[in-house]
Structure 1
Amino acid sequence: MHRRDFLKHAALAAGGLAVWPRSAFTRPRKNLYEISLAQWSLHRALFAKELDPLDFPKVTRQTFGLDAVEYVNTFYREHATDRAYFAELKKRCEGEGVRSLLIMCDGEGHLGDPDEAKRLQAVENHRKWLEAAQFLGCHSIRVNAQSAGSYDEQMRLAADGLRRLAELGDTYGLNVIVENHGGLSSNGAWLAGVMKLVDHPRCGTLPDFGNFRIADDNWYDRYQGVAELMPYAKAVSAKSHDFDKEGNEIHTDYFRMMRIVLDAGYRGYVGIEYEGDGLSEEDGIRATKALLVRVREALAETYE
């Protein structure tokens, strides 16, 4: 190309740039939060053997259009130390472009057991899940703060077990996060007090929108509870059960709850955990996702 032709084309290109929309040069706005899928949302299909746990990443991406998963150890217990099995799971995640966020761990003993030997054994029992979580690229394992005794005794015992586990988790580069999951752990003030006693950067919370039943008909206020737990949150669980005809969850005001989450400065993943019976698992997950997306869009300008 001759110099005069080059200059002519350059001038035309410059003229074109002047009329291109400004949005063509701006980055898309980052979402206030991303949405992940908790495996428990599909527990009926998994228990019925209608869904292979290895296919969880594929279903998450291809059926629900989500890119991050939260595992439940219940569905991998017999493979807990099988590296080849987890290598296959990791391969499938990578193939689908799905991130592994955390493993929810149940049935490994009471981290606040009054018996010190049992408490230490519960800590050790979680080691295999730390190893699996590290291999999969997770940031955390989710544990429970079960204990026995008085309010203060349980706080002290749970803090002791969690501190020990957090120190172990630190050697794997992983967080140990506690969910409000029944008993005193569903008392937001109590669990926040445990966090203060643990006082370890690797230990945090996973506030769940719905798990605030302390015992029988004794329920803790869910909005107060989430507000108390958010300062320590390293993940958030959007529990859902039932929806009205407008698509709102009838037990939890998601707009109010997500304002609490966002006001705390949280901008991580929010996990869908559908547990209802009124819709199929697939429809319940879709309804929860649609609600979280609607809330995110409505609050975007307020929190940008």
Structure 2
Amino acid sequence: MTAPSPPLAVSSWSLHRTLGLTFPNRPDHDVATPTPQPTYGEGRISLLDMPELVRGLGIDRVEICSFHIANRDPVYLAELRAALAASGITLQTLLVEYGDITNPATAERDLAWIGRWIETAAELGAEQARVIAGKAKHSAETLGRSVVGLRRLARQGETLGVRIVTENWFDFLSTPAEVHSLFYRLDGAVGLNGDFGNWSGPGKYEDLKAIFRIAICCHAKGDFSDGQLDEEDYANCLAAATAAGFRGPYTLIYDGSDPDEIANLAIERDFIRNYFA
């Protein structure tokens, strides 16, 4: 008997050309109503249309990047939450895309900014908020700052009903040893999102296997660098996660050069479903 196909989600990043516009909001530029920027073109849908588009792919979970949210006005957030509900879509994770809690010069400012986005995640009904554990090189000092900051964010998230997760990203968490060093000190307060695309090199699959035993979700980024999905790499990533005991959810991440994001998300979707068939 085969195992059931794992749950799938789609990140708004995988639709960045379809959405086109971004709404710049960072710790050093926290504005009530960001000016929309045609960062990836004018786009052909708004974020409010994304849930129905994802439902058309036969997927019922999404992740949304903070820079895709037009503003944090309660009326707009209520509209977005209603659009998700109308399409039967669960907001799995709000991806808080900026901030460095390991930088002593800006940590307090960034923690406060991230905290406001965790409040937004709660307003939207998100299950999780993904935050950055730190960008500095891993050291005893930066590790200490990250632990203190993540525990603070986790307490806020717990109060609001939002699970805080982070991922194997930037110099701070560039090896399995660094990931485990952090999570050993967090004692379950924060979850791990394992990302297929953040690591590379000859030890990539063993490194992924080493962290996926503690992962609770995954960014399943396919390699389309040659114009089509590298099926061997994708299968090896899935095998590493599965061997570690991970069973999903997998969030489809498409970042290739082909502008047909929907078609390439369908390729990733079908590959994962067939892999577990």
> Same fold judged by TM-score > 0.5?
yes
Deviates more, 1:184-193 or 1:287-296: 184-193
Describe how 1:36-55 pairs up with structure 2 within 5 A: 36-47=9-20, 48-50=41-43, 51-55=45-49
Q: Which has the higher helix share?
A: 1
Whole-angstrom distance in 2 between the partners of 1:261 and 1:147: 25
Alpha-carbon deviation of 1:220?
7.6
| Alignment-derived partner of residue 258 in structure 1 | 238
Matched residue count: 256
- Distance in 1 of aligned mates of 2:121 and 2:64: 9
Structure 1 232/112 Cα, relative in aligned 2: closer, same or farther at 3 Å? farther
Equivalent residues in 2 for 1:179-198, closer than 5 Å: 179-198=167-186
- Could you tell which deviates more after superposition, 173-182 or 149-158? 149-158
The equivalences for 1:58-73 within 5 A come to: 58-62=52-56, 64-73=57-66
Structure 2 counterpart SS, 1:141: strand
- Provide the residue aligned with 2:104 in structure 1: 114
Matched letter for residue 131 of structure 1: E
Amino acid at match of 1:235: C
Runs (5+) with no aligned partner, structure 1: 1-28, 214-218, 298-304
2:168 and 2:92 map into 1 onto residues whose CA distance is 18
**Matched AA of 1:231:** R
Residue among 47, 53, 67 paired with 1:74: 67
TM-score after normalising by structure 1: 0.76
Instruction: Provide the secondary structure at the position in 2 that maps to 1:254.
Output: helix
2:249 matches 1:249: no
User: In structure 2, what residue type is equivalent to 1:59?
Assistant: L
Q: 1:222 is matched with which residue?
A: 204
* Structure 1 residues 147-204: Cα deviation after superposition (integer angstroms, max 9, x where no partner): 43553332222222112211221111222111222223232221221111222x3302
Q: Is the 8 A contact 1:111 1:122 kept in 2?
A: yes
Among 67, 85, 93, the alignment partner of 2:84 is: 93
Corresponding residue to 1:290 among 263, 267, 270: 270
CA distance in 2, matches of 1:121, 1:292: 40
Q: What SS does the aligned partner of 1:79 have?
A: coil
Deviations 1:49-93 (A, max 9, x none): 32211111011012x1211101110111x412x111111111111
Distance change (3 Å), C-alpha of 1:66 and 1:284: same
**Residue of structure 2 aligned with 1:212, choices 199, 206, 227:** 199
1:275 aligns with 2:262: no
Distance 2:3 2:240 in 1: 20
Residue 243 (structure 1) shift = 7.9
Shift of 1:133: 1.7
* RCO higher in structure (CA 8 A, sep ≥6): 2
Once the two structures are aligned, what percentage of the paired residues are identical?
25
Q: Deviations over 1:201-246 (max 9, x none)?
A: 3302111101126xxxxx583223322322332211100132889x
Distance 2:142 2:203 in 1: 21
Letter in 2 for 1:285: L
- Unpaired runs of 5+ residues, structure 2, are 21-40
- Rounded Cα–Cα distance in structure 1 between residues aligned with 2:46 and 2:202: 36
TM superposition score normalised by structure 2: 0.83
Q: How far off its partner does 1:37 sit?
A: 0.5
Q: What's the offset of the Cα at 1:135?
A: 2.5
